[in-house]
Chain A
Amino acid sequence: MARQPEPARSDLSSPSAVLSAADVTRVVDRMAHQLIEKCAGAGDDAAGGLADLVLVGIPTRGAPLARRLAARVEAFAGSPVDVGAVDITLYRDDLRMRGVRALEETLLPEGGIDGRLVVLVDDVLYSGRSVRAALDALRDLGRPRAVQLAVLVDRGHRELPIRADYVGKNLPTSRNQSVRVRLAEVDGVDEVVVTEGEQ
């Protein structure tokens, strides 16, 4: 791919952003293309493979991300994709450390997830604990044919044997940095920011 000049930053983006709004859009588009390719490879044709697919976001930011991915897949492949969300709060193993938080929405497509290809969608992949909690939650919700993982940013430092099938951007970081993904639906702006100091 030819290297293109960096597009003008959105005025709302922070100067420290490692991904601007335009970058986020481009990365999501690329992930949508990868999904279509893989699913097409799995099914008889692209549309057939996509009918099998459910994009399940992990709130907070995985949920709008899943909806965006679904919209792009539909735009590129011409067939609609089911979307859902699974709240993992009640499945976390760090309640004693981090205290209680408000629960978020769990929403599955009509007909559930049995026998389908579930792609979990999250904003940042770090320790892998959120994904483990999401896998536990999925187990209580049904029995998918297969489960894959899509993340906007993989920042490394896994604590569990978990890897992503689709990665928007690999972002090598140190443990005392924090990575924040902001999305317009939640934060009013699209960007990815790295700051020093633990979150």
Chain B
Amino acid sequence: MTLLITGARPYGEDAADILVEDGRIVAIGEDLAATGAEVVRAAGLVALPGLVDLHTHLREPGREDAETVETGSRAAALGGYTAVHAMANTDPVADTAGVVEQVWRLGQQAGLVDVVPVGAVTVGLAGERLAELGAMADSAARVRVFSDDGHCVADPALMRRALEYVKALDGVVAQHAEEPRLTVGAQMHEGDRSARLGLTGWPAAAEEAIIARDVLLADHVGARLHVCHVSTAGSVEILRWAKSRGVQVTAEVTPHHLLLTDECAEGYDPVFKVNPPLRTDTDVQAVRLGLAEGVIDAVATDHAPHAVEDKETEWASARPGMLGLEQALSVVVATMVETGLLDWRGVADRMSARPAAIGRLDGGGLHAHGRPLAPGEPANLLLVDPGTRAVVDPAALASRSRNSPYAGRELPGRVVATFLRGVPTVLDGKAQK
């Protein structure tokens, strides 16, 4: 199959045509032509490499009422993603080769993005003994990222062993940094607002203490560490320090932590309840700068679908988490591109190249992700119209859930098309499956 994308601006730079054959980019240049090619007119649209998410909750198996691999894949494709890492906190937990292979196969069947399973670090996410990390790494799912996300690997000795063990697998431990003894009953960021609203506080120090501990451990044992959803200014400081010392640490920030603050908790609508919680404006500015600087390596959605009954409740009984896949690029455009903090190459780096590298998806071959837009590379790319602004309507989302914190907000940047190995998964803003 031959595809010709005409007039797009790769990385927002000069317009060019992109010729795709058999899943690969074969040429990028002016006035390309190919007989019999399907033509996609893309004048004015920015072309970027397909996005890679390090942190998605697809809820299958276990909570198919909230999301399935298929609906989550569709949401991802609509957001410009060509690969997503599916977190391990399903039911049953993805702590065996069997479960990760099941998730991987469901992703292949859906065929909208490459679903890359994350394996649990500990059996049942219980934080007590290591899961069979090697079996998951060797399975068809080829797991490289291990995480108990939703739970912190709080036991320092266990964390040390996990960091050491995955070195043999070329893996990485993605830590949900939350000291559990400091966050008992925690509901929102601890500060002026939590004091007034009477909601138990989630102190920034509970995140920072774990990150500080873990970078020291990673340094000590010479292992790779990845920090999930960094949310505080202090965390950025610690990461900057660790990176300056050469610690092999990477970090991600979510779209919501780039945009929203704890002010959203006023009114007690649990759509804004998330873990780690929305922080202050100072923190938002710090994580934006950290991302611009590269101290934070990647944007990861922490897309967390929840059924209506888990959100239409009192704040304290609601489950934490919010949708992200379909608006992630828009939020990054609003917070990073329109503010001048990142150019389009920067966006491609933080949303595609670096997350793919962290997940070890960037090796050669047709099934690689996070590769540049260049001849010979897999044709994973997206087309975005940066000028279009639209109000987010949760009812129009492809996700099975509706817990979008951006409902009613106007955001820039509409994903017009997404291609997975040359096959359009999204065209004219509509999913093709």
- Do A and B interact directly, with beta carbons closer than 8 Å? no
User: Which residues of B are in contact with A by a Cβ distance under 8 Å?
Assistant: none
User: Which residues of A are in contact with B by a Cβ distance under 8 Å?
Assistant: none
